[in-house]
Structure 1
Amino acid sequence: MQLVIQSLSKTYDNGVQALKNISLTINSGMFGLLGPNGAGKSSLMRTISTLQEPDSGSITLGPIDVLKQKEAVRRTLGYLPQEFGVYPKISADDLLNHLAVLKGISNSKERKELVTSLLHKTNLYNDRKKHLSGYSGGMKQRFGIAQALLSNPTLIIVDEPTAGLDPAERNRFLNLLGELSDETIVILSTHIVEDVKELCTDMAIINKGEVLMQGNPLQSLETLKGQIWSKRVERGEAAAYKERLNVISDKLIAGKPTLHVYAPQQPEEGFEQIVPDLEDVYFSYIFGRQQELATL
C-alpha cells in the first residue's frame, strides 16, 4: 500500500496559505511528519483524512482516489486528531463497543472479541469499566488508538499524540505505535524530534506549508557529518554569535547556552565538531539550512 500526495495546495478564507504545492510518497510502516506548530501538518492531516478539501492537487491511497472516494477512505482510515472528545461519563468498554457498532460491526460476539482485544493491546483492560473522565492524558491517547484500530485500518494518522504526556506515558504510547503492523501506513505528525527518531524509517520536514525534505532519518544524518559544531558560551554572548554565525539551535545546560552551528569548517576558535543527531537535521532545515541538501 502506498499513499501518494501530488501538488497539494490549500489557502483558507482568511488568506493563510496552509499548504503550498506539497508532494509526498508514503509507504507502509511508520512515517514521521516533522514541523513546528503552524507548519501546515494538521492541515495536511485533515485533508488526507477527508475533513477538508484542498484547492488543488491529488491524493491516492492504493487504488482509492482520496478526494473523490471519501467513504472508501473512511472505511480504511484510523484517525487520532490532536484534540478529540470523549463522553466523560461512559466507560472505555461501553464507548468502544458503541463506536464498533457505528463502524458496522454488527455481530455481537465478534464485536466483544474485538473490543476486548483492543483494550488488552492498549493496556486499558483493567480500567475498562472506569469512566473516561477519570483517565489520564496518556490513557486517553491510548484509548484514541484503540478506537482508531476498530476497523483494521490500512492508514492510521496520529496528530501530535505525545504533546502534554509525561515521560512514562509517552514511552507507553510510542511503544504501542511501534507494535502496529508493518503492512499499515502510520503517519506520525509531530514537532517532537525524539518521537520520529525512535520510531520512523522515513520522514519529512514541513514548514510554512512546504516540504523542506523527505528521506530516511539515518541517511539525513550522513548529510550533516562534519558540519555541526558546538560551543558553550556565556548567556550574554549568545546573541552576538547568532548575528555572525549560522546558529541552528541553542539550549541551556547547567545555566549556560550551548550553541550548535552549521558550517562546512570550524566557524571560530573554541567550537568543537560533534556527531549530529536528528534534532540538528530538523533545526538546520527549519532555520535556513543551505538548500543544496534539500533532496536526499
Structure 2
Amino acid sequence: MPDDAKVIAMTDESDSLKLALRGSSPDDLSQPPPLRLPSKAALFLDFDGTLVDIAAHPDHVEVARALPGLIEALGEQLEGRLALVSGRALEALDRLLGPVDVAMAGSHGGEFRPCRNAEIHPLADPLPETIARPLGAFARDNGELLVEHKPFSMAVHYRGQPEMRAPLLALAQDLAEAHGAGVKDGKMVVEVVMPGSDKGSAVARFMDMPRFAGSTPYFIGDDVTDEDAFKAVTAMGGEGILVGPMRQTAACWRLESVEEVHAWLTRALADADADAPAGAAGKSPDTENAGQAGERPE
C-alpha cells in the first residue's frame, strides 16, 4: 500500500484517529496524519523539547525566527482554539516569544491566561519557603545546580551531573509528601509543584471555555510531564503526539524532533492556504518565513 493511502484527515469528523495505522512495531507509533485547517480541532503545544530544542540552560534555547508567526497563524486558523501549555513561567514564555497573542498556561498549568492581555489566573497556591529553602540549599551544596524559581513550583536542573538525580528526587519526594505537593521527574530536572499545577488540568480548563466547546483536543509534547495532558485529551476524545524518542506513553502518534513538529505545523498552514477560496489566504506567515519555521537565529 503506498504511504499516501494511509493518510487520515486528523480533523475530518467522518473518520476516527482510533482506526489509524500504527507503526510497523508494536513498540513504536506512526507519525500523525496531516492536520486539516480550518477544522474543529483544538491544539495544545508544549514549549521546551517540542517547539524549541532543549538547551543546557533554560535561558539559552534558540527560538526559530518564524515560530511566533507560525503560532499566531495557527491560532487564527483555529479561531483561537490553540494554547501553549508549558512548564515554564508565563513571564519566561513572553520573554522568549514576544507578544504572541494566543492562550497560554505556564508553570505546568499553575498560571492560566486565556489570551495575551488577559489577567493571569492562578490555579495553584504559591510554593512555600519550607519547600524552596531545602531545594535551594541542596542545589548550592551539590555543585551549584541550576535552580529555576516559578510562582507555583521550583525546578532543580542537574544536566552534566546525572548522579544527582537520585538524592535530588528523594529530597523532592520527601518535601512534596510533607506539604501535599507533587513531583515532576523530567529530562535532567526534578521539580516540586503545588496541587493544581499539572498540564492535564490546564487543558481541561481551556476546553471549558466557550471558544473550545465542541472541539477535538490534540496535545503535542515530549516529556513525562506531558503525560497528564496526553491522558486528558484522550479522555476528551482527542489524542496526544509524542515528540522525540519512543518511550512508554499515553500518546497515540510520534514526531521525531522539534524540526518535524515545525514541518508538520507549517504544512497544515500551507494546505489551508492552498484550499482557501481566492482572496481568503494570508493568515499564515509569508511563504519565505513558513519555509524557515525550523531554522535557528543567526
- TM-score for the superposition, normalised by structure 2: 0.27
Over alpha carbons, which structure has the higher Rg? 1
* Structure number having the greater strand percentage: 1
- TM-score for the superposition, normalised by structure 1: 0.27
